[in-house]
Amino acid sequence: MSGLVNALVILAVVGLVIARQLRPRPVAAGGRWWLIPAVLAVLAIRDGGLVDSAHQGLSVALLGGELLIAAGMGVVWALTTRMWTAQDGGVWAQGTKATVTVWVLGIALRVGLYGAGAAAGVHQETGSVLLAVAVTLLIRAGVLLYRAQGLLSSYRSVA
Residue 55 has φ and ψ, to the nearest 5°, of -135, 60
pLDDT exceeds 80 at position 24: yes
Q: What pLDDT is recorded for position 118?
A: 92
Length of the chain: 159
**Cα gap 15→107, rounded to integer Å:** 13
How sure is the predictor about 153, in pLDDT bands with cuts at 50, 70 and 90?
low
Region of poorest pLDDT, from 26-35, 74-83, 141-150: 26-35
Q: What pLDDT is recorded for position 31?
A: 75
pLDDT exceeds 80 at position 65: yes
**Cα gap 138→146, rounded to integer Å:** 12
Mean pLDDT (the chain, rounded): 87
Handedness of CA 37, 93, 99, 79 (dihedral sign): negative
Cβ atoms of residues 53 and 67 within 8 Å: no
Cβ atoms of residues 22 and 94 within 8 Å: yes
Cβ atoms of residues 84 and 144 within 8 Å: no
